[in-house]
Structure 1
């Protein structure tokens, strides 16, 4: 009798644990995903109905079905364009991250360097990429090289500004403690300032990763080439000239999905880097 009671109690506990886990997952889904899913469904429904109600032709405002059909029909063109844009964006972002963080560490190590060079980084950011693009094309030629450089230029400044802010935001007490133990300037940099700046660096990477895609697509407008080697920016230009509006929408949506995916990937990397020690990531973990 006692064994039967124990077995029943064990089964009841397992059922309760399963129900608690289901309730927890439902609360997470309800709090984070349910609202965006409902909003997305409503948006697609309104978009599907609106052209019919207003009597708009598909070349003025295509419906979601028209866009999906265009993507399927021209998939042989769309997918290679997406791949090319991914390649250009990733290379541009990687250069922005490596050079941006490296240069910022040098700037933060010397107030003279920071005051001398950082203003020019700000000036570089204020120049529209469309104005710089023709010069880059003249110097480096049309194609991958110019597009990568433009992607790099657009994503470069957010990393510099965020990293420099982080390196200059070290806790004063910790800085004095390192000084008390006779730590050198570079010991402070590697063991105190860079770890303290990691959340700022990750924030800069999140901004830069999306801007690098924008820079690549804008670069493709100016420096893109055909012959199966054009990215999304080039495809958008061709679709606009040919008035293939559904395919134009498909390219734009593909660019948006690419940006969201890139951002989520960098956010995951940031979470993995910070989750074991930084408060913001630990709160998300909970």
Structure 2
């Protein structure tokens, strides 16, 4: 292995190992503080007790985890389909963008915690949670894709026009490849926001006694003062969010790593 590659491999290993070591140190400090101060589980459970609770309550928590993950990815898929389609329409016909983009902005700036109880009036709990997750994931994908489609090199656009390329050929051969990095950036944001939207809506549904996801388990455990289960469900939510981010970061690296500067810089 050449010296530059060896240095890059060492740097990559350190980039992975350092956050893990810091995280493990924080967990160890948390465990020590709880044990040395004899803090009761109903105030602050130790990490070891949270891990035991996850194992003990796994049959209950795993079902709720599956509900939350299924709704999150269903909403994300709908947001991808709707956001990309609408972004393409915006890029092709400016009057469509001027007509409908303000509605997307209104949905984005309206707090989802205010929308969720209203949706529960008109929809069943599962569909209300799905719509909430879709709303918060939709705008980042839409706006990033719109910016990406408009970011195509002006010289290349003029070259396509010079050769009288159709709008369809400009879109497929120039604008969509130019928009890919922006779309993947919006996807990383939208994936996390879809989970947040699902959790917020599940809390609202849980308050109405209609939820089944992890947020409902948190609310249920809070009513019963089962604090270790609350933390266990919160850990599963955090792990899910981290997994979503890492998945889309890996996808971005896979699709862009060989040709786009935003990912190539990570390899040097």
State the TM-score, normalizing by the size of structure 2: 0.91
Distance 2:77 2:240 in 1: 16
Q: Structure 1: give runs of 5+ residues left out of the alignment.
A: 1-16
Distance 1:134 1:24 in 2: 50
What do residues 26-50 of structure 1 show as CA deviations (whole Å, max 9, x unaligned)? Answer: 44312x1232122112201211122
- Match of 1:62, SS state, is coil
217-226 or 120-129: bigger deviation = 217-226
* Structure 2 residue 180 is matched with structure 1 residue 198: yes
Match of 1:12 in 2: none
What do residues 44-102 of structure 1 show as CA deviations (whole Å, max 9, x unaligned)? Answer: 12111223444432111111111112112211111111111111111011001111111
What are the equivalent positions in structure 2 for 1:231-242 lying under 5 Å apart?
231-242=213-224
* Structure 2 residue 27 is matched with structure 1 residue 34: no
Aligned residues: 267
Match of 2:95 among 103, 112, 120: 112
Match of 2:128 among 146, 162, 165: 146
State the TM-score, normalizing by the size of structure 1: 0.86
Distance 2:150 2:40 in 1: 56
Match of 1:122 in 2: 105
* Structure 2 residue 157 is matched with structure 1 residue 175: yes
Distance 1:174 1:33 in 2: 39
Contact 2:8 2:267 in 1 (8 A): no
What are the equivalent positions in structure 2 for 1:96-111 lying under 5 Å apart?
96-111=79-94
Structure (1 or 2) with the larger CA radius of gyration = 1
What are the equivalent positions in structure 2 for 1:1-286 lying under 5 Å apart?
25-30=9-14, 32-142=15-125, 144-224=126-206, 230-285=212-267
Match of 1:9 in 2: none
In structure 2, relative to structure 1, the CA distance for the partners of 1:283 and 1:134 (3 Å cut) is same
Distance 2:158 2:57 in 1: 62
Distance 1:37 1:94 in 2: 31
Q: Structure 2: give runs of 5+ residues left out of the alignment.
A: none
What do residues 138-186 of structure 1 show as CA deviations (whole Å, max 9, x unaligned)? Answer: 22222x2221111111100100111111111111111111111112223
Distance 2:248 2:13 in 1: 22
Distance 1:20 1:275 in 2: 18
In structure 2, relative to structure 1, the CA distance for the partners of 1:130 and 1:284 (3 Å cut) is same
